[in-house]
Structure 1
Amino acid sequence: MKTTDRLWTVEEVAEYLGVPVGTLYQWRCKRIGPPGRRIGKHLRYLPEDVYVWVREQT
């Protein structure tokens, strides 16, 4: 299974972006980071959404 075939965890997104996990949670509260989704009690990210968000940053 490729990593793009599944949702990413907060830890995986933080590693990909090179930021601390806490930063992702802060961005989520401020609505400025990549869009995440709650799956039950877990926060998950679509890799495509993360890629798009990165491309939109200037």
Structure 2
Amino acid sequence: MSKITQEQLAQRWHLSPRTLEQWRWLGKGPKFLKIGARVLYREEDVEAWEASQVCQNTSGPLSSEGL
């Protein structure tokens, strides 16, 4: 089970690490692990969240029926 840091995920998505911090606070984005002060993301959770964000139009992500 591969894990990536907040910085690695921010770089992968071309986002600020601060955006990921805000998303965690708001309950958005992929699941994460909090170990002490360190935040890690499991690769499979990131990939699942990415798949859930696939859109066909600007109305939002596809429903599971549309996949």
TM-score range, shorter chain: 0.7 to 0.9
Gaps of 5+ in 2: 54-60, 62-67
Look up the SS of the partner of 2:9 in the other structure: helix
* Mapping of residues 1-58 of structure 1, within 5 Å: 5-57=1-53, 58=61
Specify which structure has the bigger relative contact order, considering alpha-carbon pairs within 8 angstroms and separated by 6 or more residues.
1
Give 4+ residue runs of structure 1 displaced > 2 Å after superposition.
none
Q: Which has the larger radius of gyration?
A: 2
Give the residue type in structure 2 aligned to 1:15.
Q
The share of aligned pairs that are identical, in percent, is 33
Instruction: Please give the TM-score of this superposition, normalised by the length of structure 1.
Output: 0.83
Instruction: Please give the TM-score of this superposition, normalised by the length of structure 2.
Output: 0.73
CA RMSD of aligned residues (A): 1.1
Give the residue type in structure 2 aligned to 1:36.
F
The answer to which structure has the higher strand fraction is 2
Give the residue type in structure 1 aligned to 2:10.
A
Aligned length: 54
The answer to which structure has the higher helix fraction is 1
